[in-house]
Structure formats: structure tokens, C-alpha cells
Amino acid sequence: MHYRLDLVLHPAEGALLRVIGMAERRGFAPRAITGAPVAADGGRWHLQLVVDGQRPPETLCRQMEKIYDCVSVQVTALDGVQA
Amino acid sequence: MTAPSPRSTPANGARWLTQALEAEGVRTLFGYPGGTIMPFYDALVDSQLKHVLVRHEQGAALAANGFARASGQVGVCVATSGPGASNLVTGIADAMLDSVPMVCITGQVATPLLGTDAFQELDVFGLTLPIVKHSWLVRSVDDLPRVVGEAFRVAREGRPGPVLIDLPKDVQVADASHLPAHRPAAVPPPAEPAQAALAEAIAVLATAEKPVIYAGGGIALGEAVDELRAFVDASGIPTVMTLRGLGALPAAHRHSLGMLGMHGTRAANMAVQECDVLLVLGARFDDRATGKLVEFAPFARVVHIDADAYEISKLRTADVAVPGDVARAIRALHAAFPSPPPQQAPWRARCAQHRERFAARYDAPGSQVYAPALLKRLSELAPADTVIACDVGQHQMWVAQHCRFNHPRNHLTSGALGTMGFGLPAAMGAQFACPDRTVVLVSGDGSFMMNVQELTTIARCRLPVKIVLLDNSSLGMVRQWQELFFAERYSEIDLSDNPDFVALAKVFGIAATRIDARDDVEGGLAALLAEPGPALLHVAIDARANVWPLVPPNTANSTMLESNPATSRQETPNALPA
């Protein structure tokens, strides 16, 4: 199953590595990543991370929420979408 | 050594950091100096902090780890960059997996040298990303107040854990005279459990006929020991504990069925497999506790209460999820069940019967030292508030099975990471945290050698740690698995060339004796505990002894072996006809 994670991150050193690493360690393979700092949001990163995995995505979301640089995360199932 | 120069440390980043540590309540820290952390060590000369010089950075991390486990306070360790930092890694990982609050400070090459492969440059920030709650590479002295405040707050709040501050040398020596004095950040209280979820949990428990409480390390972390005991006393619900939950109920408590899982008690595992409601309090369905997960507690509706919402439904879907403060949740349950529900009386009686029927026996045949009996006796002879640290392997499971703990913080065991070499430095840290209490290390001959250098630290500081070294001249747990699951094809488990441990301890200036026979146990333990300073009791045990009961890996907890089914050898008295 493919999922898109919509993440908002504090622009802190290591924030990107933390979320990508978390996805991989928890059994989700990163397939695509886009995003950039948003000046209107205080320079926070708005990131879309597409992952592929068989485990419950809600569990990954809750784990992402524990990352201190992660302001918010939302998950959307991408059934049938090839990333 | 000459006396330090009378000059005082300049008001630099390092000096500011030592003062901030003092403001955070740190009194003792463990470390080892080196090139990039030298300004910090210079500042230590003028500080009130007690620095314990270990002999390997892993010893520093594990000592801080043991200090934190025993005290509930943040443990602090320090190392230089490069190999100093990488040597901390195992101790940090151990703290992460067992939710131990630590602040780890590493020196780093000066910021202009970052990314240039400078001498002793190592990306410890990247190296430790998966094993810390959070971490910072401090690139400006102006960031120190924010970083240090956040570091202690993050280490303490919610589910505790380790954090890392990587501190370049130029930041340590930068002028910090303009920085304000450090003020510790407030730690937010755990979230209150939702009333609706609690009501649902109470409703499920009210209909239960065969409930079981499955209590884990979250009981101590959530300061919920008193609440759990009061609730169990009132409700009479049979209770099983994880390795890290042991002591949440005293072992002698009438409703305690002991530890569940791979080396758990028969009474505990049978109760969980038969129960109709499993009330999970601060536990996480670890595979060593559950056995084959799909067959774990097959008839139970699960009510899962945990401060870490992520753990709920991670491995077993909860029928009722109650994220939030475990202590407050238990208080609410207690209010709802002030007395034992009558319909649960037959179940309580059945569990009590199993507790008696399957209690460990100590009348093992033979004259060799029977390790379970020795550990039971150790527990009886030592003061009730003794802290017992252990290493990893067979002796670790025997400690869990046969020592009696009256609080989880009195049992220091590397639960999730299973770190051989944990015990000696952890006991050292615990003795600093609890200077007026007896601290005992139970170790094995494999684990002991992994951080044996810390005997020097114990001797130097005259820490009265008592060491019981169970020596089977092999890697016993690996040997046991090779015997049971690898057709007795023994591979690289022979440690018969161990040093003479008594002579070794004496070289370090530590009193030591050896016992070989069962008749020597009583005198050996009494003499060990009577020693005013550090002491070691070297105990030769049967090299073929195994840990029983055992649930084979990937098997339901209802399958508990008491001996090797492939042989007729009956090793424990529980395997003999009563």
C-alpha cells in the first residue's frame, strides 16, 4: 500500500533525516519526497513523503508525532497510485 | 598531581554549561576526557559537579543509565568526539529502548572543521539519530540556553529517554558572559486520560469474569506503583508483570503471579492465556513477554492504558485504548472497583491455586551450587531495599525469577536491548544514586568481562558494590539455545579460559572469594554482604544448567518446557514429581 504523509516540520538540523529514517525503520519504504520551507509559515518545512508499506499507517503517524521537530502529520492512502 | 591553577574558568560556553547542569540539579556525572571536550573538563575544576572518571566511555553511558534507573533522575555522561562519542552508543541505545532519562554530552571538532574529516571528527548526531529522543548540534554559544533547557525537559517528559548534545570545541570556548543564568524548564504533566475511554474500560472490567492485569515498566516510569498496589489490593485482580515491571507488586503479594513470558512463571502464563479481559498497564506486548503474538491471550478483550499513545495497538489491537497518565487512570479504576467483584471469585481462587502449585522449588538434587536457590537466599539475606543490578544471559533470568523486589527501581536489568556488560557500570551508577543502600551486582562470566575495566572505578571510589559472579565457563544462554534449538551443535560458547576472577578482583584492590559447593552458599553470601567495601563472590555453577521454564521462540506461552524434551535429564526440582 502506498500512502502520502503530509508533514510540517520545524526547520531544524536533522529534521528531514529523522522523518525519513523513522519511516524506513518502521517498515515503510520512501518512494517520493517533495517539499520546501514556507516563508509564510515561519520557514517551516511543508513536506510530502510517499511511502510504501504493509503495516498500519496510523501507527507510523503516531510515531512521527513523537519526533520533536514534527509539528503535524496527516496520512492519505494512495490506493492504486504508483509513486 | 599538582593542585589546579588558581585562575578561574573564563565565562565561556563550557563554564556556562557546568553552571546550567548544576541548576538542573545534576550532582554526579560520568565521563572520560579527550581533545574536543577539554574546555568542559577545564570548567569542571571550578564547578560543584562530581565527575566520575570511568575507564571506558561505554562505562560512562551505562553508569549514567544505572544512576537514572535507580534514582528516577536524569543521568548525565560526557565524552570527547570520535571514538569517545561512538563508545557511548550502546549505553544510549540501552536507555532509549528502556525509556531511561539521560543527557549525553559529546565534544565535537570546532565548527569550521565540521565536514572536513578532521582528527576525531565523527557525525555522532547522525550516528545516534535512531537511538535518542532528540539531539542537538550546537553551532553557536547563543543556542546553549535553549538547547540545555530543551534537553532536560525532553529527557524527562512523557516517556523518558536519552538526548544528546554535541558541542563543538569553539562553542565551548566562546564568550558566554552575555548569556543569562540557566533556569530549568518546567516539565509538563502527563496527559489526563479521557473520561470516555476510562468509562469504557470500567464497563469492560465490570463484565469480566477472568481478568488479569499485565503491568510493565510504565508503572514505575509513571510513578504509579502505589496506585497499582492499592488497586490490586482492592479489586483482587490477579497480576502478572513484565521483566521491567517486576517489583510493581512485591513478589510475596497474594495477587502477584510473577513474571510472564519466555521465562515467566507457569501461573502467570496460564492466567494470561485463559483470561477474558487483559488490563495492560504501561506495557508494550514485547515479543519476549507475548511469545507467539497471534496466540497471546486468545480469549481476552484488551484494555490498554499507556502514557505513550504510540504503544497502544502497535502489536495487539486494543478493544479499549486509554492513552494518558497511568497513575490517574489506575486511580479511576480503583474508584470504580473498591472491592473484588463477586463473579470473579472462582477465577481468583484458580489463579491462587496455580500460584501455589507451580511455585519454584529449590530442592534440586546434587551438591553443586544451584543458582536459583543462591539468588533466592541472596534476596532473603540482603536488606529489603537492596538494589540488584544484573547483566544479560541466564543469570539475568534467574535474577528475575528468584530475587524478590519491592520496587521496580530496585531491579536494574537491560530489558529491551539486552546489553551484556550493562551490570557493572549500572551498579556503579546506582551506588552513586543510592549511597546509603546496599547495591548488588549479579553477573555472568561472559557479561562481566565486557566492562571489567570498571572494577578500577569501583575501587578508586571505594563504592561498596557487592558482586555475585555466576561462572559456568561458557556463554550459558547461547549454549542453552544451541542445545535446545540447534541440535547441540555448540559453537563458540566456551569460556573455560576465563581468568582467575578472585585474583583478578584482588589485583583491582577488591576483596574476593570463591565458592564451589552448595554448602558454602550461606557463608559466602553472608561474608559478601558483611564486607564494608566492594567485594566479589565468585560462584562456580554447573555448566549444563539451563533456565526453566522456557517458552520456545515463536511459540504460544501455553507451551512451557521444564526440561529438554530430547533428553531424560531433569534439571530443576519443578521437573521432578512433587
Of the partner residues B129, B133, B134, the one whose CB lies closest to the CB of residue A21: B129
Strand B320-323, strand B50-53: pairing: unpaired
Q: Is residue B252 part of a domain?
A: yes
Neighboring chain B residues of A13 at a CB cutoff of 8 Å: 125, 136-137
CB burial string A22-42: b at 16+ within 10 A, e below: bbeeeebebbebeeeeeeeee
CATH code at position B418:
3.40.50.970
Q: Is residue B498 part of a domain?
A: yes
Residue contact A21–B313, C-beta within 8 A:
no
Q: What is the ipTM of this complex?
A: 0.94
Cα–Cα distance, B409 to B281 (Å, whole number): 17
pLDDT at B215: 98
Maximum average pLDDT range among A54-68, B77-91, B554-568: B77-91
Statement to judge: residues B411 and B286 lie in one domain: no
Statement to judge: residues B250 and B351 lie in one domain: yes
Shortest CA gap A18–chain B (Å): 7
The overall pTM is greater than 0.80:
yes
Q: Is residue B189 part of a domain?
A: no
Shortest CA gap B476–chain A (Å): 31
CATH code at position B334:
3.40.50.1220
Interface test with chain A among B146, B310, B313, by most A beta carbons within 10 Å: B310
Residue contact A68–B137, C-beta within 8 A:
no
Q: Is residue B556 part of a domain?
A: no
Q: Please compute the mean of the pLDDT values over residues B371-396 and round it to a whole number.
A: 98
pLDDT at B416: 97
A26/B contact by beta carbon, under 8 A = no
Which of B67, B84, B73 has its CA nearest to residue B155?
B73
Statement to judge: residues B216 and B124 lie in one domain: no
Q: Answer whether residue A5 shows pLDDT above 90.
A: yes
Cell of B42: 577545564
Give chain B's domain count.
3
Statement to judge: residues B396 and B539 lie in one domain: yes
Residue located via cell numbers 562456580: B540
Neighboring chain B residues of A69 at a CB cutoff of 8 Å: 134
A10/B contact by beta carbon, under 8 A = no
pLDDT at B576: 55
From B124, which residue of chain A is nearest by alpha-carbon distance?
A14
Q: Is residue B475 part of a domain?
A: yes
What would the pLDDT profile of B257-298 be if each residue is shown by its tens digit? 999 999 999 999 999 999 999 999 999 999 999 999 999 999
pLDDT at B499: 98
Residue contact B137–A25, C-beta within 8 A:
no
Mean pLDDT of chain B: 96
Statement to judge: residues B273 and B347 lie in one domain: yes
Q: Answer whether residue B310 shows pLDDT above 50.
A: yes
Q: Is residue B577 part of a domain?
A: no
Residue contact B133–A68, C-beta within 8 A:
yes
Neighboring chain A residues of B152 at a CB cutoff of 8 Å: none
Residue contact A59–B129, C-beta within 8 A:
no
For residue A13, which amino acid is it? Answer: E
Shortest CA gap B264–chain A (Å): 28
Q: Is residue B365 part of a domain?
A: no
> For B27, phi and psi rounded to 5 degrees?
-115, -30
Are the beta carbons of A53 and A27 closer than 8 angstroms? yes
Work out the number of other CB atoms within 10 angstroms of the CB of residue A46: 17
How many Cα neighbours within 13 Å face the side chain of B62? 30
pLDDT at B564: 87
Are the beta carbons of B92 and B128 closer than 8 angstroms? yes
Q: Which CATH number fits domain A2-77: 3.40.50.1820, 3.90.110.10, 3.40.50.300, 3.30.70.260?
A: 3.30.70.260
Domain locations along chain A: 2-77
- Per-residue 3-state assignment (H helix, E strand, C coil) for B148-200: HHHHHHHHHCCCCCEEEEEEEHHHHHCECCCCCCCCCCCCCCCCCCCHHHHHH
Domain that holds residue B319: 195-357
Neighboring chain A residues of B315 at a CB cutoff of 8 Å: none
Of the partner residues B125, B134, B308, the one whose CB lies closest to the CB of residue A68: B134
Statement to judge: residues B384 and B459 lie in one domain: yes
Neighboring chain A residues of B135 at a CB cutoff of 8 Å: 14
- Per-residue 3-state assignment (H helix, E strand, C coil) for B257-284: EEECCCCCCHHHHHHHHHCCEEEEECCC
Statement to judge: residues B375 and B349 lie in one domain: no
Q: Is residue B1 part of a domain?
A: no
From A23, which residue of chain B is nearest by alpha-carbon distance?
B130
Statement to judge: residues B381 and B421 lie in one domain: yes
Q: Answer whether residue B7 shows pLDDT above 70.
A: no
CB-defined contacts A:B, below 8 A: 28
Residue contact A17–B314, C-beta within 8 A:
no
Q: Answer whether residue A83 shows pLDDT above 50.
A: no
Cell of B411: 531491579
- Per-residue 3-state assignment (H helix, E strand, C coil) for B500-542: CHHHHHHHCCCEEEEECEHHHHHHHHHHHHHCCCCEEEEEEEC
Residue contact A62–B310, C-beta within 8 A:
yes
Statement to judge: residues B84 and B163 lie in one domain: yes
Statement to judge: residues B272 and B406 lie in one domain: no
